[in-house]
Structure 1
Amino acid sequence: MIIILIGYMGSGKSTLGKELATRLNSSFLDLDDYISEKESASIPELFKTKGEIYFRKKETEYLNELLNTSEDLVLALGGGTPCFGNNMDLLTGNTNLISFYLKLSIPLLVKRLFKERENRPLISHISTEAELLEFIGKHLFERIPYYSKSQFTLNTDNKTQQEILEDLVAHLI
């Protein structure tokens, strides 16, 4: 079984994915880390040197590769992964996986992301929390139709990591 974690950057996909994989005695992969390893470059470097189109093509290629694995896997997707190419179709058409949208409110995303924006290519140019709030609001408006195709949506606002893990596991039983 492959468990896919979907959500906006900063929603906790990687952090929760690692914990969930440990709990399930499964492997964990962050798709962005996998791409960085395969391409021998960080995501910001890939965006800067090869562009977003190149990155998105590679993202789909590596996603496809991972979806064809036979091992149990918890996979955290990049925030934009479901929204490009046929990536969401690859997920919804696959009977060997279960997908979760980790839904975090815009104010909480701003709070998490503002302090780490230099490490995130899509928001590194933003200088105020108000600008980030507007950016995330517009971005989420475009992405929610894709995220919402996940099998399950978990609202993670004001929940501890432990509570979210319990929610995830409850859907797997």
Structure 2
Amino acid sequence: MKIYLVGYMGSGKSTIGPLLAEVLSYKFIDFDTYITQKEGMSISEIFKNKGEIYFRKAESSYLQQLLEEESEQVVVALGGGTPCYGTNLQLLKDSDAQTVYLNWHFKTLAQRLWSAKEERPLIASMQSYEDLEDYVRKHLFERGFYYNQSDLVLKIEDQSPKDVLDSIQESLF
């Protein structure tokens, strides 16, 4: 089984992904790292030097590559915007991958992102916590249409990573 984790930035895809892969004895791929290796620069550098449009086109191309190349036993942590641009959602739906949406409340995501905002090109310039919270709320509203088409939608409030892993395993296997 191919499992693709989707959700907003800060939702724990890069934390849950390797843990899930380890429990299942699957390969793990962090999609942002995959893109970084292919492009030879960080996501922030791609945004800064080539722009978001270039990034989104490259992201779509690399997603298609990954869906075609990867074995059956893989967990992939997608970028927060990956399923929301171009034909990416349709690529995922047309594949044999299972998608899992890690669904957090916007206030929790804003709290998690505030301390690490400099590492996130889309929010690095936010000057106030209130602006970040408004941004996350708006984005989640816009992206909810895409995220909620996942095969499994996990509403997460205060569960531990182990509880999230258990929920994924119970639902998919």
TM-score (normalizing by structure 1): 0.97
Question: Given residue 145 of structure 2, which amino acid in structure 1 is its aligned partner?
Answer: P
Shift of 1:93: 1.3
Distance in 2 (CA, whole Å) between partners of 1:53 and 1:130 is 27
Moved more, 62-71 or 106-115: 62-71
SS at match of 2:45: helix
Superposition map of 1:71-110 within 5 A: 71=71, 72-94=73-95, 96-110=96-110
What are the Cα deviations for residues 101-159 of structure 1, in whole angstroms up to 9, with x where unaligned?
A: 00011111011000000000000010211111100011111100000110110011111
Distance in 2 (CA, whole Å) between partners of 1:154 and 1:29 is 20
Kindly report structure 1 stretches of 4+ aligned residues shifted beyond 4 Å.
Answer: none
Residue matched to 1:154: 154
Question: Given residue 74 of structure 2, which amino acid in structure 1 is its aligned partner?
Answer: L
Shift of 1:172: 2.1
Distance in 2 (CA, whole Å) between partners of 1:18 and 1:146 is 23
Residue matched to 1:69: 69
SS at match of 2:18: helix
Superposition map of 1:12-31 within 5 A: 12-31=12-31
Gaps of 5+ in 2: none
TM-score (normalizing by structure 2): 0.97
Gaps of 5+ in 1: none
Distance in 1 (CA, whole Å) between partners of 2:26 and 2:69 is 13
SS at match of 2:86: coil
Residue matched to 2:113: 113
Shift of 1:171: 1.6
Question: Given residue 39 of structure 1, which amino acid in structure 2 is its aligned partner?
Answer: E
Shift of 1:69: 2.4
Residue matched to 1:54: 54
Superposition CA RMSD, Å? 0.8
